[in-house]
Amino acid sequence: MFDTALTAKDLWFLAQGAGMTILVTAISVFFGTVLGIIFGVIRYQIGPYWAAPLTFVLDIFRSIPLLIQLVLAYAFLGTVLRLGLSGLTVACIVLTLYTSAYCAEIVRGGIEAVPLTLRRAARSLGMTWGQDMRSIVMPLATRVALPSWIGLALGVMKDSALVYVVQVVELLKSTQILITRLQEPLLLLTICGAFYFIISFPVARFGGYLEKRWSND
């Protein structure tokens, strides 16, 4: 007979960790996407030469491992600047910038995938730059960029497991705490994996649904 020391209270503790994972991911992906769209449009619009400083900064966030970014940001903001920010705030700031760096590339690539002939036709019809971007470029670029953006969102959700280094108890950290106390790693890691699957599967399926629907339009 299967015997475990796991209780309903422990499961609730894991659920709270999963809730923190969802919160960090949602905040980071939302604001990271907003910044990524802005950065991506700027990079495309002003060209590689003038966008070089912005590209360099974004490359820093893409190149340095997220774990190092979290540790350095937590130490710098807390010890050097003495801002007194919580670990959750620091985690969201770093993950937002990390997400925006990747999202900017996705947006830029999506815009570049829109045929120039369509844009020229729109401008010849008297559309302004804003109308062209809103009515022509963004709808088409979104279809191209969506699969990559879904992959980015799911990646950020899994990368959020690293925020334990700034004292945020998310899903994986709560699992590790229970493993230390209960000494049942296989069971707890299985439950942890199930939580991650429950969180990520609907997002992946919804992205697939949108992609399939748009491809049939």
**14-72 pLDDT tens trace:** 999 999 999 999 999 999 999 999 999 999 988 888 889 999 999 999 999 999 999 99
CB 138 within 8 A of CB 110: no
Query: What CATH topology corresponds to 8-215?
Result: MetI-like fold (1.10.3720)
**Whole-angstrom distance, CA of residue 45 vs CA of residue 204:** 31
Q: What is the pLDDT of residues 147-185, one digit of tens each?
A: 899 999 999 999 999 999 998 999 999 999 999 998 899
> Which residue shows structure tokens 């945020």?
168
143 — pLDDT class (breaks 50, 70, 90): confident
The mean pLDDT value of the chain amounts to: 90
> Which residue shows structure tokens 């907003």?
34
Residues 6+ apart with CB under 8 A from 58: 39, 100, 101, 104, 105
Q: What is the pLDDT of residues 69-81, one digit of tens each?
A: 999 999 988 777 7
In this model, does residue 1 exceed pLDDT 60? no
Q: What is the DSSP string of 16-59?
A: HHHHHHHHHHHHHHHHHHHHHHHHHHHHHHHHHHHTHHHHHHHH
CA-closest candidate to residue 158, choices 102, 95, 206, 89: 95
Domain residue spans of the chain: 8-215
pTM, rounded to two decimals:
0.90
**Whole-angstrom distance, CA of residue 69 vs CA of residue 75:** 10
3-class SS at 217? Answer: coil
